[in-house]
Amino acid sequence: MKFENAVTRIAKILANVSVALLAIMLFLGVTDVLGRYLFNRPVTGTLEIFEILLPGIVLLSLAYTQLNKAHIRVELLFNRFSSRLQATAVPG
């Protein structure tokens, strides 16, 4: 029980770090767009910083997702299929 509490606490901390990284990414993106279009001076290195932050956001949030017995699904195209086709694609 003690181990489970420690793992839960660590997973929640990592999820919060992931949220903080996402907030940094959001503010950097807004600053870059505003700088680009209002002042004609974008933030240098934004793409490279995004490339570093994105894997951190995904990987640090996976432990929390697993803890909640959830999973990540991308349904952008899947929801547009007919219900018959969706039923054949879903296992079980």
pLDDT band at 92 (very low <50, low <70, confident <90, very high): low
Residue-wise pLDDT tens digits, 4-60:
899 899 999 999 999 999 999 999 999 999 999 999 999 999 999 999 999 999 899
Give the burial class of 61: count Cβ atoms within 10 A of its Cβ; 0-12 exposed, 13-18 middle, 19 or more buried. buried
User: Rounded distance, CA 39 to CA 34, Å?
Assistant: 7
User: Rounded distance, CA 77 to CA 83, Å?
Assistant: 13
Give the pLDDT of residue 86: 81
The whole-number average pLDDT for the span 60-87 is 82
Residue 87 has pLDDT above 90, yes or no: no
